[in-house]
Amino acid sequence: MKLAIIVATTRVGRKTLQQAKWAAKLAANVDGIDAEIVDLADYPMPFFDEPVSPRYNPSRQIDSVAKKWLDKLNEFDAYLFVTAEYNHSIPAVLKNALDYVDFQFIHKPGAVISHGSAGGARAQVHLKQILSESKMAVVPSGPGVAIVHMSDIIDEEGNMSAEAAANPYGPKPAVEDLLNDLKWYSDALAAARK
Ligand SMILES: Cc1cc2nc3c(=O)[nH]c(=O)nc-3n(C[C@H](O)[C@H](O)[C@H](O)COP(=O)(O)O)c2cc1C
C-alpha cells in the first residue's frame, strides 16, 4: 500500500510537520506500508477559481501547481491527513487544496490525525465530512488521535518522548491501530476496485 502522509499547514514555524514525521516513522514499522510525506508547502497553488466544479468539468483547465498536486495524489492507495486546527476548522490551505480534487480519492481509504490547543478535534470532524464529499472511504477511528500540546511530546525530527510512547492508552498505539486499519481497508478496496 502506498500511503500519502499529508502535511496540512504551511506557515513559517509550523508544528504539524513534526507530527507528520512521527506518523511516517510509525508507518515505516508496519508491514506492507510504503509511506511518503506529501507536504502542502511544496504545492503553493492559487486560490481555487475554476468556472465549474472539478468533477463536473470534462474540459477542465487546471493551474500547473494544482495539477502537480493532483498527479501526486494519484500515486497513492491511501491517505493519512495530519492537520492542526485553525479557528475551529481545518487550515485554509488544506481546504483550498481539497477544492481542486476531482477523482483522486474515490473508493480509497483515508484517515485523519490532528493536534492543537484542543487537540484539533473540531478540525478532524470537519475534515472527515469534507473527505466524504470527495468519495473517500474515511476509516472509522473511534475517538481519533487528537494530541493536545503535541510539541511537548514530539520533537522537530518526529521523535516521541519515551514516556509518551510507553503510554498504552496514548497516541502511539492509537496511530499504529489506525495505520493497520488503513492497510486493511486499502487491501479490501483495492481488490474491489479491480
Ligand atoms: C490562525 C490560527 C488559528 C488557530 N485556531 C485554533 C483553534 O481554533 N483551536 C485550537 O485548538 N488551536 C488553534 N490554533 C493553535 C494551533 O492549533 C497550533 O498553533 C498549531 O501548532 C498550529 O499548527 P501549525 O503549527 O502546523 O501551524 C490556531 C493557530 C493559528 C495559527
The domain ranges of the chain are: 2-193
How sure is the predictor about 141, in pLDDT bands with cuts at 50, 70 and 90? confident
Cα 45 to averaged position of ligand 1 atoms, centre (Å): 21
Pocket of ligand 1 (CB under 6 A): 9, 11, 14-16, 84-88, 116-118
Q: What does the chain look like in DSSP terms, one character per residue? A: -EEEEEE---STT-SHHHHHHHHHHHHHTSTT-EEEEEEGGG--PPPP--SS-GGG-TT----HHHHHHHHHHHT-SEEEEEEE-BTTB--HHHHHHHHT-SSTTTT-EEEEEEEETTTTHHHHHHHHHHHHHTT-EEPP-TT-EEEETGGGTB-TTSPBPHHHHT-TTSHHHHHHHHHHHHHHHHHHHHHHH-
pLDDT for 19-63, tens place per residue? 999 999 999 999 999 999 999 999 999 999 999 999 999 999 999
Please, what CATH class does the domain formed by 2-193 belong to?
alpha beta
pTM as predicted: 0.97
